[in-house]
Amino acid sequence: MSWRIDVAVHTPAHAALGDLLSYASDRALAPGTLVRVPLGRREVLGVVWRSALDEGEVHAAPPAPDASAMTLKPVGIALDGLAPLGEAWRDLVMFTARYYQRSLGEIALAALPPQLRDLTNVQLSRRLKRQAPPAQAPADHTPQAMQAPQALPVALTQEQSEALARIEAGSGTFLLFGSTGSGKTEVYLRAVATLLERQPDAQALVMVPEINLTPQLETRFKARFDARFGNGSVVSLHSGMTHPQRLASWLAAHSGAARIVLGTRMAVFASMPGLQLIVVDEEHDPSYKQQEGARYSARDLAVWRGQRENARVLLGSATPSLESWHQSRPAAGTDSGGRYQRLAMPSRVGAGALPTVRTVDMNLQPGKTVISGVLLDAIGQRVARGEQSMVFLNRRGYAPVLACGDCGWKSECPHCSAYRVFHKIDRTLRCHHCGFAERVPRACPACGNLDIAPVGRGTERLEEHLGELFADVKRPDGTPVRIARIDADSTRAQGALESQLAAVHAGEVDVLVGTQMIAKGHDFRRITLVAAINPDGALFSSDFRAPERLFSLLMQSAGRAGRDAAYLAAQGTTAEMWLQTHHGQHPLFAALRRHDYTSFAEPELEDRRAAGMPPFAFQALLRADARTQEAAQAFLTAASAAADVLEGADRVTRYPAVPLAIQRVANVERAQMLLESPSRAALQRLLAAWQPLLHALRREPEGKGVIRWLIDVDPHSI
């Protein structure tokens, strides 16, 4: 008997091949089974899926009525040694594909570890028999300064106890609104511990926004749980791991051997049959939104997955996203309130006070001042007392532009509509968009002038400038001031980030300079002063989310100061946050000075309600990449006209096509069109019905020159 098997394979949405491909098998295969199947000239990994024709059941293929009937290709091999992927996991993948307008196989295969695609049954059997190694270095190999003494639970504050009691008594999604240093991580640890003790087969997923936050979190979780549940009970999943590490962690989670999975946004797709709790730390962070390929929001999928699997979802942040804040609003009058339960923890652990926020009016400073005299004096006082300071500038490199003062030449990228950044450390001009780099010219390429100079400042130049300013300042032991820089350039080498963070924790750094990599999530115990050098750029951005991101980043930065109340008391000092700004009276800074997220969020929500913007409306972007800007915009304009005939098109506003802010990257012109609707369902129906028209449009004259198109649902940047 021959069976027809419908399989999800990796076919990108723009390929228009459909979600499922049919194959023949000599035996029935359960949905969720991993198989190898022929696709063109290759053999690829696929997932046996439910067929739309057989209501989810694998069924026997009827004999062909005549020779002209289509002959199905046979399935290669099935990875029988691996338990089929569960129905809940397949539902998550299907929802993601439908909601974010991608193909089913593209989501399903991207969610699996890459090495799984190449294993035979024999190799897989060996992997399953082998003891799964830890995904990261064992705890005793972690730098001493990064090992927090967390093996024994600490005493809970009243706010932590109340939050845990409400989590234990309730269900659904919770927003843990806790100030920086209020002990949100301890709440996560206790919630996970309670779950695992109560249910022997339960699993928990803990997500962080960035890879650099996983080492310290993994150290704390391993110290707390390894002794109780075994060395393999905590595993990590993120893109910084090797393929064998990712496979070992995924197999441990899929089999249930791993009780806790720590990871970045990709971990939301981990196969966890016993999932009962999902924690999304720093839920406001834009890093949870994927910006390549399938542009999903891991935070939103975590909430959906919790609802599907009846698992509690705990969203934690000191500066929640306005969407989550709105969804956790209490009931008032005719408003029944949001879908989330809000848990407030406004106090810092150990009676520590939030840092005092001071602003420096740069309008009163001499021209071209980088760091004001009062801020330099404040940092110098901290150095003299043996304390640490952090200087935050969200721009890496030495200078954003290299320019000629005679002819006006600037270091433009020949392949992008952007400038190449000057990196002094290796004397290169490097484009941060396409990666094109070349040596700094000895003279101006346009006029031959030898006097070409950097314009503006990045972290590399700021580090150098601070070194010059503090050249004569001594530490308490008489040694020179030690300045370190942490950004994407300084941490490029394997293990560089871990060693640099360890140096900061050990007190080997006096002044830490960095980008947003150091501004959130890190538990620096000796930093007592944080300074933001140039935060004004986002105040007047055309992106309506820019103020929200700026407030969050600054408040998170402030939270790195004064996290250890005992250390502050011993030093006889207080924590401070310094802001150098030309707009000190801006309402955003006024709310920041009071550490009052509510006074920032509520007016911002009212402005969005009046303007009909998220979370009171729903958006999507249709983007087109083409060889010319005219071709990209022509495709988008034709697509908008084609949508006129679709049912419900009148409920979705389609704005004119415009170039992106950086319209050319790697010699590809980019344009976009914004779609907006007060109804999520209406927007989704239009997008689903639009897909066939967009595929057909690629074959029309309007589609000539278009390289690719994509749909971005719930975009984070417009």
Query: What b/e readout covers 176-198, taking b as 16+ CB neighbours within 10 angstroms?
Result: bbbbbbbbbbbbbbbbbbebbee
Question: pLDDT tens digits for 74-128?
Answer: 988 889 889 999 999 999 999 999 999 998 999 999 999 999 888 877 888 888 7
- Give SS3 for 70: coil
Task: Give the model's pLDDT for residue 70.
Answer: 65
Give the pLDDT confidence score for residue 144 in this predicted structure: 40
314 is in an annotated binding site: no
80 & 187 share domain? no
Question: What CATH number does the domain containing 573 carry?
Answer: 3.40.50.300
User: What's the rounded mean pLDDT across residues 347-352?
Assistant: 80
For residues 158 and 206, give the distance between their C-alpha atoms in angstroms, rounded to a whole number: 24
User: Hey, is 153 helix, strand or coil?
Assistant: coil
Residues 211, 145 share a domain: yes
Token output for 447: 């006029």
pLDDT of residue 638 exceeding 70:
yes
Q: Which residue has the higher pLDDT, 25 or 62?
A: 25
Question: What's the chain's average pLDDT?
Answer: 89
Is position 434 annotated in a ligand binding site?
Answer: yes
- Do 570 and 425 lie in one domain? The reply is no
Specify whether 431 is located in the same domain as 481. no
Structure tokens at 177: 């609104």
Q: What pLDDT, in 10s, does the model give residues 619-631?
A: 999 999 999 999 9
263 lies in the same domain as 361: no
Are 428 and 439 spatial neighbours (Cβ–Cβ below 8 Å)? yes
Predicted confidence band at 135 (pLDDT cuts at 50, 70, 90)? very low
Q: Is 718 within a domain?
A: no
**Confidence (pTM):** 0.91
What is the pLDDT at residue 699? Answer: 84
pLDDT band at 520 (very low <50, low <70, confident <90, very high): confident
Indicate whether 203 and 336 sit together in one domain: yes
Q: Do 207 and 265 form a contact (C-beta atoms < 8 A)?
A: yes
For the record, the structure tokens of 656 come out as: 């004119």
Residue 416 marked ligand-binding = yes
User: Crossing angle, helix 680-697 and helix 87-99, to 10 degrees?
Assistant: 70
| pLDDT at residue number 137 | 37
Together in a domain, 447 and 502? no
324, 289: one domain? yes
Structurally, how many domains does the chain consist of? Answer: 5
447 annotated to bind ligand: yes
Mind listing the pLDDT tens digit for each residue in 198-211? 999 999 999 999 88
Predicted confidence (pLDDT) per residue in 573-625, tens digit: 999 999 999 999 999 999 999 999 999 999 999 999 999 999 999 999 999 99
Question: Residue 48: left (phi > 0), alpha (psi -120 to 50), or beta?
Answer: beta
407 is in an annotated binding site: yes
How far is C-alpha 469 from the geometric centre of its chain's CA atoms?
A: 36
Q: CATH code at 635? A: 3.30.70.360
Query: Are residues 356 and 268 part of one domain?
Result: no
Band of pLDDT at residue 61, cut at 50, 70 and 90: very low
Distances (CA, A) of 76 to 49, 294, 325, 515, 530: 16, 28, 50, 49, 59
Amino acid letter, residue 556: Q
For residue 162, what are the domain limits? 133-349
163 & 309 share domain: yes
Residue ending a domain, choose from 99, 127, 155: 127
Q: How far apart are CA 459 and CA 471, in angstroms?
A: 18
Cα dihedral 368→371→375→379 (10° resolution): -160
If pLDDT is split at 50, 70 and 90, which confidence band does 483 have? Answer: very high
Q: Identify whether 640 is part of a domain.
A: yes
- Which residue bears the tokens 């891991």? 298
Take residue 534 and report the two structure tokens written for it.
């140039």
The identity of residue 388, as a single letter, is: Q
Give the model's pLDDT for residue 12: 57
Is 442 marked within a binding site? no
Predicted pLDDT of residue 214: 85
Instruction: Examine the fold and report which residue of 93, 109, 127 is the final residue of a domain before the chain moves on.
Output: 127
> Does some domain include residue 258?
yes
Residue 632, in any domain of the structure: yes
Residues near 55 by beta carbon (within 8 Å), at least 6 away in sequence: none
CATH number of the structural domain spanning residue 20: 3.40.1440.60
Q: Is 317 annotated as a binding residue?
A: no
With respect to residue 377, please indicate whether it lies within any of the assigned structural domains.
yes
Same domain, 78 and 185: no
112 assigned binding-site residue: no
Look-up: residue for tokens 């094109």? 436
Q: Are residues 102 and 147 in the same domain?
A: no
Classify residue 599: in a domain, yes or no.
yes
**DSSP state letter for 440:** P
**Structure confidence at residue 17 as a pLDDT band (50, 70, 90):** low
